[in-house]
């Protein structure tokens, strides 16, 4: 799994690289840095330190270039992850599919109903789908924030099994804004307000099928290095975290340009 280095490490590496760059002309002139006297080494170190103190922006310029390189490496690594897990991402046979089922762009969202950023993203994702009209949306139940999250996801998946995709959509829309603790009473009453059989859904929650679906999605998330929500796959790209509507629209537009 690709893991970018922390900025402190980057700055240290940049300073080291700069020292080597500054020493190159001296080496070319025959100065053996490996066998310097203590006095020469101290003088050289002082000269490099003085240069860095007078020109600290050089280190940050190097760090900025490094971060750009790391971002490019992460993007390529994510493209490989999406390609290697495409079937599970886009055609698992059970995740709810919304938007335009025949859309030219597919967006996959991993979410947790108790996640504040998932709740913040929800209306923007909905607006993206509605305004565009040609996006296929796949929702992956990814409860990672504790028991309440798991209960909510189990109820949503059970609603789909008991009542079909329309029931799932209704429950999904309600859970993403639900403020009450998702216990049996609140969830059964919630289902009733949606015209669904809450008791039947509750009874289905601990079934092997519900457990299998959530476990398979969690395993997929682990393969793809997803450890937070929301996380998205836009075509062959990964977006790890919340992205505003404008950013999502730009990503979709760029994917269409790529064909």
Asked whether residue 20 is domain-assigned, the answer is yes
Kindly give the residue spans of alpha helices, DSSP state H, lying in the chain: 7-28, 38-54, 57-84, 86-90, 116-132, 147-163, 165-175, 184-193, 198-204, 208-223, 245-258
Contact call for residues 201 and 194 (beta carbons, < 8 A): no
Q: What is the pLDDT of residues 141-180, one digit of tens each?
A: 999 999 999 999 999 999 999 999 999 999 999 999 999 8
Instruction: Please tell me whether residues 111 and 206 are part of one structural domain.
Output: yes
| Whole-model pTM over 0.85 | no
How large is the average pLDDT for residues 204-215? 97
Q: Is residue 23's pLDDT more than 60?
A: no
Q: Which pLDDT band, with edges at 50, 70 and 90, does 2 fall under?
A: very low
Asked whether residue 207 is domain-assigned, the answer is yes
Residue 55: domain span: 7-84
Instruction: Please tell me whether residues 150 and 166 are part of one structural domain.
Output: yes
């Amino acid at each position: 799994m690709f893991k970018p280095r922390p900025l402190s490490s980057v700055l240290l590496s940049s300073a080291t690289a700069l020292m080597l760059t500054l020493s190159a002309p001296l080496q070319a002139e025959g100065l053996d840095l490996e066998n310097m006297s203590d006095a020469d080494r101290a003088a050289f170190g002082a000269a490099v330190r003085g240069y860095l103190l007078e020109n600290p922006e050089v280190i940050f310029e190097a760090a900025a270039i490094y971060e750009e390189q790391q971002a490019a490496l992460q993007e390529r690594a994510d493209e490989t992850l999406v390609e290697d897990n495409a079937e599970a991402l886009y055609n698992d046979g059970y995740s709810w599919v919304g938007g335009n089922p025949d859309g030219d762009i597919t967006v996959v969202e991993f979410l947790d109903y108790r996640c504040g950023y998932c709740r913040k993203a929800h209306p923007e994702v909905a607006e993206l789908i509605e305004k565009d009209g040609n996006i296929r949306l796949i929702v992956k139940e990814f409860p990672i924030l504790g028991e309440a999250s798991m209960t909510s996801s189990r109820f949503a998946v059970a609603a789909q099994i008991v009542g079909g995709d329309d029931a799932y959509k209704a429950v999904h829309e309600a859970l993403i804004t639900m403020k009450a603790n998702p216990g049996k009473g609140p969830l059964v009453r919630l289902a009733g307000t949606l015209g669904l059989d809450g008791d039947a859904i509750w009874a289905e929650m601990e079934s092997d099928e519900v457990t299998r679906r959530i476990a398979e999605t969690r395993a997929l998330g682990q393969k793809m290095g997803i450890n937070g929500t929301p996380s998205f796959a836009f075509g062959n790209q990964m977006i790890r975290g919340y992205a505003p509507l404008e950013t999502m629209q730009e990503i979709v537009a760029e994917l269409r340009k790529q064909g």
